[in-house]
Structure 1
């Protein structure tokens, strides 16, 4: 009889069964306990995903192989700019869509697998297009694939950013990113050198660039598989209700202006991203002063990605110790110096050093921007905050290469590089005068909270 009553009672609300629901504070404590209890497993999963996944994506996103390939098959700076612009256009709207699909979900890993998998499919498509297409159809196919790659990378950035915030405590994020980026960067640097010297120079399997893209797709897929196997995801104690895409877009002004620090940080992100007007043309600019063969591509890729490897350890530990505002300041300053060196000195050693500086600076910017954004505002609004930043960056990044290609064709690379330096200086000024370290503000608020 007692068992029958218990079974009937089980269908009743907790309040009617006499069960005391845990308070929000107790739910938060349980959430934190889950995070720390599963930290080792989740740390390893995020490490492997970042190391392998970002290794492959570095080969695609480095300002060497893909811009050089587009220029080789099209012969046009404008097409190079258009390709990079389309890639960024794809990432303009998709982060907001991604955020609306996951912000109300207790588990977001299934969405991460879909969105991450679709991004990787586009890299496979680039390899297949290189092997089986030629002339104008190849150019068109590459442009379409770059657009789709950006589309799914935009949603992926939101999902994986939220996943890291859910399972890795704030005090451990910098060193995690430092080691996964450093080891991934080391592998990518070695692979980039080998791809340039052996795959591209040797035209392996009939198209060395396509073979390089296929290798990138394999590595990123292995990283995603490792994360799927290892990650244990907690359920947040409170979640926003599911909202329509249109309603969330209307909510942008309130979300931005409710946190003055985030609003100015967003401006810094936009002007820093606008400075990428020059990024696709670094390698093409070099071709005017030195022979751009597979060996040179490999060496400059080694410099760019090698700097990523070495500097990430510095950026990560510095960010954990001081907050990531200082990392952002240092990386923007280094970006200015490296761009100026590339413009001023055309000796091979100086070009190598400039690419080394660009790699270190851009890795610092990416780490700082992606980590600082997790420290503004409330956890419930985090997915949409990441989406807003990704969309803002996507708008600027899509316009930059397109304008840069036109300006490079009509006014020369010096004007493009000068504009890039100008945007970086504006970002530095705003960062130094207006944006405060969000970690200090969060700690101060926690101290004042009774």
Structure 2
């Protein structure tokens, strides 16, 4: 009997030693290849973020949808469809990669399909008009949301595998800052020289082609440079519906993560007003192509500069603090737009909005990587992405209906209510996952 116990203990010790050796080899691989992987992630983020910001900025796409449809409801519907695409696809993406030792092939497929959706928007503007153009744009916006939702899981997982936690903030700071600088300049150029004179017959299509080319270049750089390690452990492959059933347990394992999800959903609900900021400006002071370019420049330029602050601040004091400051700035920008209707304050409000939203995005996406175990990371990212997308789906559509019926002021006040609730829960109930503290 004692011999069997000794054999069992020996076997457990061997397994533990083997796991420790694999963990050490994994850690060594990460640091040995850090410069190469850092450069790959930097180029991918810089070029990719540049193109995606031109599509996701609350200026060009809402203005384009309003121009071709003449309806606030269609603007809201378009943004709602983009978010709807991201409801289920993150979970699908997680189930496809969480059992794999290498996820780069899936990242290339999902990233490529998302970029083709942007190209579809561009081509639709050149070859279609009237209602067919509206339908085509809505379809490609939906597809963009689907593939971006899946891509978010895979690329976040890739970054967590190859970039140590102490380097993630500064990586995001520099890639977002340089990408934002390019995007800000390109936004001004697009507004003045593409959209204003309707370059090549459709200035918006020309802008989206530039976005497609930049994002594709970033994906090629990542594919060429990144060296991906094989993790010491992975989850066994599971069916999609089985993983859905495990969601409550995954959330219940960490009370702070559960409250963090609530904060994400409330903050995402606050984006009910985002597509209507530029439309509100157009109503109160007017917004031609040059104004669109200038305000997009303010939005993306502030995003560029603030990323350096957010990244280093997150590395030094944790991303919970970044989240608190960015939510407060978001409130301030909305209040400014509601009350100050001259060009200077409006420019400043869009700048503050760009800085705040960039801080929120960096903090929320990075904090997810710091809760819980590594093996559950793909699904944890997917749960957060899905939670955000559920609330973001209804938000713009409801916002469009509210704007049509009651005006933009009511939409903005609703956004402020969601932000206030998110701020309160974040301060009172969400601990810093690095330090185990709240409040």
Matched with 1:268 is 263
Report the Cα distance in structure 2 between the residues aligned to 1:33 and 1:260, rounded to whole angstroms. Answer: 33
Report the alpha carbon displacement of residue 289 of structure 1 after superposing the two structures with TM.
1.7
Report the Cα distance in structure 1 between the residues aligned to 2:265 and 2:19, rounded to whole angstroms. Answer: 37
302, 308, 312: which one aligns with 1:317: 312
102, 106, 109: which one aligns with 2:101: 106
**Count of residues in correspondence between the two structures:** 425
RMSD of the TM alignment (CA)? Answer: 1.2
CA distances 1:187-233 after superposition (whole Å, capped 9, x unpaired): 00000000000011121111000000000000000000000000000
Matched with 2:241 is 246
Report the alpha carbon displacement of residue 39 of structure 1 after superposing the two structures with TM.
0.1
CA distances 1:11-52 after superposition (whole Å, capped 9, x unpaired): xxxxxxxx9996111111110000000000000000000000
Q: Secondary structure at the match of 1:441?
A: coil
Matched with 1:231 is 226
Report the Cα distance in structure 1 between the residues aligned to 2:426 and 2:389, rounded to whole angstroms. Answer: 20
Q: How does 1:46-65 map to 2 (within 5 A)?
A: 46-65=41-60
Report the Cα distance in structure 2 between the residues aligned to 1:327 and 1:260, rounded to whole angstroms. Answer: 20
Q: How does 1:345-360 map to 2 (within 5 A)?
A: 345-360=340-355
Say whether 1:393 aligns with 2:388: yes
Matched with 1:77 is 72
Q: How does 1:8-407 map to 2 (within 5 A)?
A: 23-407=18-402
Report the Cα distance in structure 1 between the residues aligned to 2:217 and 2:136, rounded to whole angstroms. Answer: 25
Q: Secondary structure at the match of 2:435?
A: helix
Report the Cα distance in structure 1 between the residues aligned to 2:420 and 2:308, rounded to whole angstroms. Answer: 25
Report the Cα distance in structure 1 between the residues aligned to 2:160 and 2:429, rounded to whole angstroms. Answer: 26
- Structure 1 352/254 Cα, relative in aligned 2: closer, same or farther at 3 Å? same
Q: Secondary structure at the match of 2:114?
A: helix
CA distances 1:217-250 after superposition (whole Å, capped 9, x unpaired): 0000000000000000000000110000000000
Q: Secondary structure at the match of 1:235?
A: coil
TM-score by length of 1: 0.93
Report the alpha carbon displacement of residue 291 of structure 1 after superposing the two structures with TM.
2.3
Report the Cα distance in structure 2 between the residues aligned to 1:416 and 1:299, rounded to whole angstroms. Answer: 24
Q: Secondary structure at the match of 1:380?
A: coil
CA distances 1:143-168 after superposition (whole Å, capped 9, x unpaired): 01000000000000000000000000
Q: Secondary structure at the match of 2:84?
A: helix
TM-score by length of 2: 0.96
Q: Secondary structure at the match of 1:23?
A: helix
Matched with 1:446 is none
Report the alpha carbon displacement of residue 441 of structure 1 after superposing the two structures with TM.
3.1
Report the Cα distance in structure 2 between the residues aligned to 1:268 and 1:83, rounded to whole angstroms. Answer: 24
